[in-house]
Amino acid sequence: MVADAFGGIKVDTKKSDIGKYFIGIEKMMTSVKEKLAFEVIKNGNYAKVKTVVDKFITDILGKIVARAKEGVKGAGGYVAIENAVKDQDFQPEDAESVDGTC
């Protein structure tokens, strides 16, 4: 279920594939921003629409693009995430390192 929410990212997904995923998000959101900005220019008479679209472009899409760029930074290489092995049980840490205290 989680993999579906993140474009098929699974435990054995390569970091480079995750990078491509975030690059795709960045490109798509940048394109949406540009198209919306064009529509605002084309239909500038509608002050309320312009206000709402401008806010959406800067607040929502701008943040998505920024986070996608951030996600790409750590997504390089051809190893699985944290060198995980598909269908292998996790290896528990020692109890002291995960006792819940900060």
Residue 81: per-residue pLDDT: 55
Q: pTM score, two decimals?
A: 0.46
- Is residue 93 situated within a structural domain? no
In a domain, residue 62? The reply is yes
Give pLDDT tens digits for 4-18: 555 667 767 777 787
Q: For residue 59, which phi and psi values (nearest 5 degrees)?
A: -80, -55
Nearest to 25 by CA among 67, 68, 54, 55: 68
Residue-range definition of the domain harbouring residue 59: 2-75
Does residue 22 belong to any structural domain of this protein?
A: yes
**pLDDT tens for residues 40-77?**
778 766 777 778 877 887 888 788 888 877 776 766 65
Note whether residue 86 is domain-resident.
no
| Residue 89, in any domain of the structure | no
Q: Record the tokens describing residue 32, joined without a space.
A: 């949406």
